Protein backbone atom coordinates (compact mmCIF):
# COMPACT_ATOMS: atom_id res chain seq x y z
CA UNK A 1 0.00 0.00 0.00
CA UNK A 2 2.33 2.73 1.23
CA UNK A 3 5.98 3.08 0.26
CA UNK A 4 7.60 1.78 3.39
CA UNK A 5 5.24 -1.06 4.07
CA UNK A 6 8.16 -3.35 3.58
CA UNK A 7 9.77 -1.85 6.60
CA UNK A 8 6.90 -2.54 8.91
CA UNK A 9 6.75 -5.74 10.81
CA UNK A 10 4.68 -8.64 9.53
CA UNK A 11 1.93 -8.51 12.16
CA UNK A 12 1.42 -4.83 11.32
CA UNK A 13 1.11 -5.52 7.64
CA UNK A 14 -1.19 -8.44 8.37
CA UNK A 15 -3.38 -6.24 10.52
CA UNK A 16 -3.55 -3.72 7.71
CA UNK A 17 -4.56 -6.38 5.20
CA UNK A 18 -7.29 -7.65 7.47
CA UNK A 19 -8.43 -4.08 8.11
CA UNK A 20 -8.74 -3.56 4.38
CA UNK A 21 -10.73 -6.74 3.97
CA UNK A 22 -12.99 -5.58 6.76
CA UNK A 23 -13.87 -2.22 5.28
CA UNK A 24 -14.08 -3.75 1.82
CA UNK A 25 -16.67 -6.15 3.15
CA UNK A 26 -14.71 -9.30 2.34
CA UNK A 27 -14.86 -10.18 5.98
CA UNK A 28 -18.32 -9.68 7.38
CA UNK A 29 -19.48 -8.68 10.85
CA UNK A 30 -19.98 -11.66 13.11
CA UNK A 31 -17.85 -13.91 10.95
CA UNK A 32 -15.44 -16.16 12.74
CA UNK A 33 -11.79 -15.86 11.81
CA UNK A 34 -10.24 -19.27 12.11
CA UNK A 35 -6.58 -19.08 12.99
CA UNK A 36 -5.59 -22.07 10.93
CA UNK A 37 -7.36 -21.15 7.72
CA UNK A 38 -6.56 -17.42 7.84
CA UNK A 39 -2.92 -18.10 8.63
CA UNK A 40 -2.93 -20.47 5.73
CA UNK A 41 -4.54 -18.04 3.31
CA UNK A 42 -2.04 -15.31 4.22
CA UNK A 43 0.82 -17.77 4.23
CA UNK A 44 1.94 -16.82 7.70
CA UNK A 45 2.25 -18.66 10.95
CA UNK A 46 -0.49 -18.80 13.53
CA UNK A 47 1.70 -16.88 15.94
CA UNK A 48 2.15 -13.91 13.64
CA UNK A 49 -1.55 -13.90 12.91
CA UNK A 50 -2.36 -13.87 16.60
CA UNK A 51 -0.18 -10.79 17.05
CA UNK A 52 -2.16 -9.10 14.30
CA UNK A 53 -5.39 -10.14 16.01
CA UNK A 54 -4.28 -8.43 19.20
CA UNK A 55 -3.71 -5.20 17.35
CA UNK A 56 -7.11 -5.32 15.72
CA UNK A 57 -8.99 -6.10 18.91
CA UNK A 58 -7.49 -2.95 20.37
CA UNK A 59 -8.98 -1.11 17.40
CA UNK A 60 -12.39 -2.50 18.23
CA UNK A 61 -12.62 -4.22 14.87
CA UNK A 62 -12.31 -7.76 16.17
CA UNK A 63 -13.65 -9.43 19.28
CA UNK A 64 -11.98 -12.13 21.32
CA UNK A 65 -14.09 -14.84 22.85
CA UNK A 66 -11.81 -16.86 25.07
CA UNK A 67 -11.34 -20.41 23.88
CA UNK A 68 -13.76 -19.80 21.04
CA UNK A 69 -11.75 -17.60 18.74
CA UNK A 70 -11.85 -14.14 17.22
CA UNK A 71 -14.84 -12.72 15.42
CA UNK A 72 -15.40 -9.66 13.32
CA UNK A 73 -17.05 -7.09 15.57
CA UNK A 74 -20.77 -6.73 15.04
CA UNK A 75 -21.79 -3.09 15.07
CA UNK A 76 -24.99 -2.50 16.94
CA UNK A 77 -27.18 0.49 17.55
CA UNK A 78 -25.46 1.27 20.85
CA UNK A 79 -22.05 1.42 19.20
CA UNK A 80 -23.30 3.71 16.46
CA UNK A 81 -24.81 6.06 19.01
CA UNK A 82 -21.60 5.93 21.01
CA UNK A 83 -19.48 6.74 17.99
CA UNK A 84 -21.62 9.70 16.99
CA UNK A 85 -21.53 10.99 20.53
CA UNK A 86 -17.74 10.96 20.38
CA UNK A 87 -17.73 12.55 16.95
CA UNK A 88 -19.97 15.41 18.00
CA UNK A 89 -17.82 16.03 21.02
CA UNK A 90 -14.49 15.96 19.26
CA UNK A 91 -15.23 17.30 15.80
CA UNK A 92 -17.40 20.18 16.93
CA UNK A 93 -14.96 21.27 19.59
CA UNK A 94 -12.06 21.05 17.17
CA UNK A 95 -13.94 23.12 14.65
CA UNK A 96 -15.06 25.65 17.20
CA UNK A 97 -11.53 26.30 18.38
CA UNK A 98 -10.01 25.95 14.92
CA UNK A 99 -7.82 28.76 13.74
CA UNK A 100 -8.61 30.04 10.20
CA UNK A 101 -4.94 29.75 9.27
CA UNK A 102 -4.47 26.20 10.46
CA UNK A 103 -2.85 23.92 7.85
CA UNK A 104 -5.59 21.34 8.40
CA UNK A 105 -8.00 23.75 6.80
CA UNK A 106 -6.23 23.30 3.48
CA UNK A 107 -6.69 19.57 3.86
CA UNK A 108 -10.37 20.08 4.51
CA UNK A 109 -10.67 22.13 1.35
CA UNK A 110 -8.82 19.55 -0.72
CA UNK A 111 -11.04 16.79 0.64
CA UNK A 112 -14.14 18.75 -0.32
CA UNK A 113 -12.93 19.28 -3.88
CA UNK A 114 -12.00 15.64 -4.21
CA UNK A 115 -15.43 14.60 -3.03
CA UNK A 116 -17.11 16.75 -5.66
CA UNK A 117 -14.81 15.44 -8.36
CA UNK A 118 -15.60 11.86 -7.40
CA UNK A 119 -19.31 12.56 -7.34
CA UNK A 120 -19.17 14.00 -10.83
CA UNK A 121 -17.75 10.79 -12.17
CA UNK A 122 -20.15 8.65 -10.16
CA UNK A 123 -17.41 7.22 -8.00
CA UNK A 124 -19.33 6.80 -4.74
CA UNK A 125 -16.61 4.92 -2.97
CA UNK A 126 -14.30 7.84 -3.69
CA UNK A 127 -16.90 10.22 -2.30
CA UNK A 128 -17.00 8.18 0.87
CA UNK A 129 -13.23 8.21 1.28
CA UNK A 130 -13.02 11.93 0.63
CA UNK A 131 -15.72 12.52 3.17
CA UNK A 132 -13.81 10.55 5.78
CA UNK A 133 -10.69 12.58 4.96
CA UNK A 134 -12.65 15.75 5.47
CA UNK A 135 -13.67 14.77 8.96
CA UNK A 136 -10.20 13.53 9.86
CA UNK A 137 -8.91 16.94 8.81
CA UNK A 138 -11.40 18.61 11.12
CA UNK A 139 -9.99 16.64 14.01
CA UNK A 140 -6.48 17.67 13.01
CA UNK A 141 -7.46 21.24 13.77
CA UNK A 142 -7.12 20.31 17.43
CA UNK A 143 -3.40 19.65 16.98
CA UNK A 144 -3.27 16.45 18.93
CA UNK A 145 -1.69 13.32 17.57
CA UNK A 146 -3.45 11.22 20.19
CA UNK A 147 -6.80 12.59 19.20
CA UNK A 148 -5.99 11.94 15.55
CA UNK A 149 -5.18 8.32 16.31
CA UNK A 150 -8.30 7.88 18.38
CA UNK A 151 -10.44 9.35 15.66
CA UNK A 152 -8.90 7.09 13.05
CA UNK A 153 -9.92 4.15 15.17
CA UNK A 154 -13.48 5.38 15.59
CA UNK A 155 -13.68 6.04 11.88
CA UNK A 156 -12.59 2.51 11.03
CA UNK A 157 -15.23 1.16 13.33
CA UNK A 158 -17.85 3.32 11.71
CA UNK A 159 -16.82 2.10 8.30
CA UNK A 160 -17.57 -1.38 9.52
CA UNK A 161 -21.13 -0.23 10.15
CA UNK A 162 -21.27 1.37 6.74
CA UNK A 163 -20.34 -1.98 5.30
CA UNK A 164 -23.67 -3.25 6.47
CA UNK A 165 -25.36 -0.53 4.53
CA UNK A 166 -25.97 -0.72 0.85
CA UNK A 167 -26.36 2.77 -0.45
CA UNK A 168 -23.20 4.93 -0.31
CA UNK A 169 -24.84 7.63 -2.37
CA UNK A 170 -27.49 8.24 0.24
CA UNK A 171 -24.86 8.07 2.94
CA UNK A 172 -22.36 10.65 1.77
CA UNK A 173 -23.61 12.77 -1.08
CA UNK A 174 -26.12 14.87 0.86
CA UNK A 175 -23.27 16.32 2.88
CA UNK A 176 -20.97 17.57 0.19
CA UNK A 177 -22.51 21.03 0.07
CA UNK A 178 -22.52 21.23 3.84
CA UNK A 179 -18.84 20.34 3.92
CA UNK A 180 -18.09 23.18 1.55
CA UNK A 181 -20.12 25.57 3.66
CA UNK A 182 -18.29 24.54 6.78
CA UNK A 183 -14.97 25.29 5.13
CA UNK A 184 -16.32 28.66 4.08
CA UNK A 185 -17.52 29.54 7.55
CA UNK A 186 -14.21 28.63 9.10
CA UNK A 187 -12.30 30.66 6.52
CA UNK A 188 -14.62 33.57 7.23
CA UNK A 189 -13.64 33.44 10.88
CA UNK A 190 -16.99 32.11 12.05
CA UNK A 191 -15.98 28.88 13.79
CA UNK A 192 -18.98 28.83 16.13
CA UNK A 193 -21.35 28.80 13.19
CA UNK A 194 -19.30 26.13 11.50
CA UNK A 195 -19.47 24.00 14.64
CA UNK A 196 -23.21 24.44 14.92
CA UNK A 197 -23.67 23.44 11.33
CA UNK A 198 -21.52 20.38 11.83
CA UNK A 199 -23.49 19.39 14.89
CA UNK A 200 -26.79 19.45 13.00
CA UNK A 201 -25.14 17.63 10.17
CA UNK A 202 -23.93 14.86 12.46
CA UNK A 203 -27.38 14.53 13.98
CA UNK A 204 -28.83 14.04 10.55
CA UNK A 205 -26.12 11.62 9.50
CA UNK A 206 -26.63 9.62 12.67
CA UNK A 207 -30.34 9.32 11.99
CA UNK A 208 -29.66 8.16 8.45
CA UNK A 209 -27.20 5.53 9.57
CA UNK A 210 -29.42 4.30 12.38
CA UNK A 211 -32.42 4.07 10.12
CA UNK A 212 -30.53 2.24 7.39
CA UNK A 213 -28.97 0.05 10.01
CA UNK A 214 -32.21 -1.05 11.59
CA UNK A 215 -33.64 -1.74 8.14
CA UNK A 216 -30.65 -3.93 7.33
CA UNK A 217 -30.76 -5.81 10.60
CA UNK A 218 -34.47 -6.28 10.25
CA UNK A 219 -33.99 -7.67 6.77
CA UNK A 220 -31.47 -10.16 8.10
CA UNK A 221 -33.71 -11.34 10.96
Q: Per rule CB under 8 A, is residue 203 in the interface with its own copies?
A: no
Least distance in angstroms from the C-beta of 5 to its own copies: 12
Rounded distance, CA 134 to CA 172, Å?
Answer: 12
Distance CA 181, CA 175 (A): 10
- CB-based contacts of 51, cutoff 8 Å, min separation 6: 11, 14
Instruction: Give Cβ neighbours of residue 144 (< 8 Å, ≥ 6 apart).
Output: none
64 part of the interface to its own copies, by CB under 8 A? yes
Sign of CA dihedral 156, 42, 13, 124: negative
Nearest alpha carbon to residue 81 among 168, 201, 202 = 202
60 lies in the site for DNA, by CB under 7 A: no
Give the interface size with DNA as a residue count (CB under 7 A): 20
Site for DNA in 8-37 (CB under 7 A): 9-11, 32-36
Closest to 198 in 3D by CA, of 174, 211, 181, 173 = 181
Site for its own copies (CB under 8 A): which residue of 14, 23, 61, 83?
83
Q: Is the Cα dihedral 60, 75, 91, 108 positive or negative?
A: positive
Q: Which residue from 41, 47, 167, 214 is in contact with DNA, where contact means CB under 7 A?
A: 47
Question: Could you say which of 5, 40, 76, 82 contacts its own copies (CB under 8 A)?
Answer: 82
Binder among 17, 63, 69, 86 for its own copies (CB under 8 A) = 86
Beta strand pairing call for 62-65 and 32-33 = unpaired
The rounded distance, in Å, linking the Cα atoms of 105 and 95 is 10
Which positions from 94 to 133 touch its own copies by CB under 8 A, shown as an x/- string? x---------------------------------------
Distance CA 128, CA 136 (A): 12
- Hey, which residues between 133 and 172 contact DNA (CB under 7 A)? none
Least separation, in Å, of the C-beta of 46 and DNA? 6
Give residues in contact with its own copies (CB under 8 A).
7-9, 11, 47, 50-51, 54-55, 58-60, 64, 66, 82-83, 85-86, 89-90, 93-94, 142-147, 150, 154
Give residues in contact with DNA (CB under 7 A).
9-11, 32-36, 43-48, 50, 64, 66-69
Amino acid sequence: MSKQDENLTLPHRLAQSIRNQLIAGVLKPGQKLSEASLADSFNVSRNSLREAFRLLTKDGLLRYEPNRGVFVAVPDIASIIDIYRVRRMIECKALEDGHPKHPALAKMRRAVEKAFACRDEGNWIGVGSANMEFHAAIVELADSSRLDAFYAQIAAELRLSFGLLDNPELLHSPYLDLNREIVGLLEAGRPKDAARMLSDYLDRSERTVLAAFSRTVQAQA
